[in-house]
């Protein structure tokens, strides 16, 4: 189950987003027995903590995942481990072939 709102709509009316998300999450827990929610937009940054706290307060604790935090954590893990994506799946681009010039550092 999903719901779409534009980035502009997310921030037009204070409290509107929070109320809509709380209603949606409660319905998903009751109707579909979900145990985790993944927010699908960086425009909802900060909502994961709010939703987790509010749902716990009404006796419906649920895991709410912020995609921005996950992406940054994944990037940090890759850097610390010295890993990169697969060159077989994503070969190194030759930007010159695409007519893109890069700034060369001294």
Q: Are 19 and 10 in contact (CB under 8 A)?
A: no
* pLDDT top residue among 48 and 44: 48
Q: What is the pLDDT of residue 41?
A: 77
Q: What is the pLDDT of residue 26?
A: 93
Asked whether the beta carbons of 14 and 26 are under 8 A apart, the reply is no
Asked if 54 and 25 touch (Cβ cutoff 8 Å), the reply is: no
User: How many angstroms separate the CA atoms of 25 and 18, rounded?
Assistant: 11
pLDDT tops 80 at residue 36: yes
Report whether pLDDT(81) > 90: yes
User: Across the chain, what does the average pLDDT equal?
Assistant: 83
- Compare 103 and 97 and report the one with higher pLDDT: 97
Residue owning tokens 């409290």:
15
Rounded to the nearest 10 degrees, what angle do helices 47-57 and 16-32 cross at? Answer: 60
CB 65 within 8 A of CB 48: yes
63-91 average pLDDT score = 90
| Cα 55 to Cα 26: distance, rounded to the nearest angstrom | 8
């Amino acid at each position: 189950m999903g719901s779409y709102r534009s980035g502009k709509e997310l921030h037009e009316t204070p409290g509107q987003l929070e109320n809509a998300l709380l209603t949606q999450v409660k319905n998903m827990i009751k109707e579909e027995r979900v145990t985790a929610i993944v927010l699908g937009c960086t425009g909802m940054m900060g909502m994961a903590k709010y939703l987790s706290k509010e749902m716990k307060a009404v006796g419906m604790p649920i895991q709410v995942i912020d995609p921005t935090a996950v992406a940054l954590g994944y990037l940090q893990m890759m850097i610390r481990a010295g890993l990169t994506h697969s060159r077989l799946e994503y070969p190194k681009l030759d930007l010159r072939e695409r007519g893109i010039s890069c700034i060369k550092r001294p």
